[in-house]
């Protein structure tokens, strides 16, 4: 009987198991990677078939890239401060991440406005234009999901529910936020190189 108890406790030790919530997050990330891999593969294949117009990416997409990199830094620092119970700094950094995420979405919107001003529209007759809108639009949807996650963490912090003993969800938020940041950098480089 004692042996069975020890075996059960060893099996339940978090060191040996992946937290189910973290596993779900990683499955969602893998699904998103597959989605964008499909988009970029279709982009390359369709580009090779002709009827492809070249145009310059909006300059605001570069600003988006800078903002998402800075927001990843503030997100990481927020998690590090929370793990050390420096919660006042962690809150400020988390608010900063949220503000930078909103600014990212704004620069994406300004980029779409710039494309429209340059007569680059979402249209089935011109696939190169449509791909840019679809790829950036779906990424913005992922960022909005990340912003809801960050907002939930801000609420938890304001309720004093995050501290050095309870950082699982903040850590998951950090992982997701880094993912969407790395994803945008990849997409920006891809769209710049394969216009």
Q: Give the CATH number for residue 74.
A: 1.20.120.80
| Residue 127 CA: distances (Å) to CA of 17, 71, 115, 124 | 45, 32, 14, 6
- pLDDT digits 0-9 by tens, 134-147: 999 999 999 999 99
Q: What is the mean pLDDT of residues 167-171?
A: 94
Structural contact between residues 96 and 74, judged by C-beta atoms closer than 8 angstroms: yes
State the Cα–Cα distance between residues 131 and 126, nearest whole angstrom: 9
DSSP track, 48-94 = TTS-----PPPTHHHHHHHHHHHHHHHHHHHHHHHHTT-HHHHHHHH
Flag whether 50 is in a domain.
Answer: yes
Q: Which domain holds residue 186?
A: 21-193
The two structure tokens encoding residue 96:
């900063």
Count of structural domains, the chain: 1
Q: Name the phi and psi angles at 37, rounded to 5.
A: -65, -40
Tens digits of residue pLDDT in 79-103: 999 999 999 999 999 999 999 999 9
pTM reported for the whole predicted model: 0.87
> Is 1 contained in some domain?
no
Helix axes 20-47, 127-158, angle to 10 degrees: 160
pLDDT at 122: 81
Residue 88 counted as domain residue? yes
The structure tokens 């590090």 sit at 80
Residues 25, 149: Cα–Cα separation, whole Å: 12
Mean pLDDT of the chain: 88
Confidence category of residue 62, pLDDT binned at 50, 70, 90: very high
Q: Is residue 148 part of a domain?
A: yes
Strand-pairing partners, residue 163, are 166
The number of residues making up the chain comes to: 195
- Backbone φ and ψ of 126, nearest 5°: -130, 95
Question: Is residue 76 included in any domain, yes or no?
Answer: yes
Taking residues 19-42, report their average pLDDT: 93
Decide if 71 is inside a domain: yes
- CA–CA gap between residue 134 and residue 145 (Å, rounded): 17
| Of 122, 121, 137, residue with least CA distance to 61 | 137
Is 16 part of a structural domain of the chain?
A: no
Please tell me the predicted confidence (pLDDT) of residue 2. 45
29 falls within a domain = yes
């Amino acid at each position: 009987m004692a042996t069975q108890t020890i075996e059960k406790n060893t099996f339940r030790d978090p060191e040996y198991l992946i937290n189910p919530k973290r596993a779900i997050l990683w499955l969602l990330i893998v699904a998103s990677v597959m989605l964008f891999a499909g988009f970029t593969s279709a982009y390359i294949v369709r580009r090779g078939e002709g009827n492809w117009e070249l145009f310059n990416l909006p300059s605001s997409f570069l600003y988006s890239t800078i903002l998402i990199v800075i927001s990843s830094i503030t997100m990481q620092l927020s998690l590090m401060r929370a793990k050390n119970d420096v919660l006042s700094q962690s809150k400020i950094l988390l608010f900063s991440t949220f503000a930078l995420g909103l600014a990212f979405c704004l620069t994406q919107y300004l980029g779409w406005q710039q494309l429209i001003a340059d007569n680059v529209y979402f249209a089935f007759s011109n696939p190169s234009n449509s791909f840019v809108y679809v790829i950036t639009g779906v990424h913005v949807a992922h960022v909005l999901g990340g912003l809801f996650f960050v907002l939930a963490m801000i609420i938890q912090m304001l309720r004093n529910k995050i501290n050095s003993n309870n950082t699982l969800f903040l850590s998951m938020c950090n992982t997701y936020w880094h993912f969407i940041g790395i994803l945008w950098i990849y997409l920006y480089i891809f769209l710049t190189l394969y216009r």
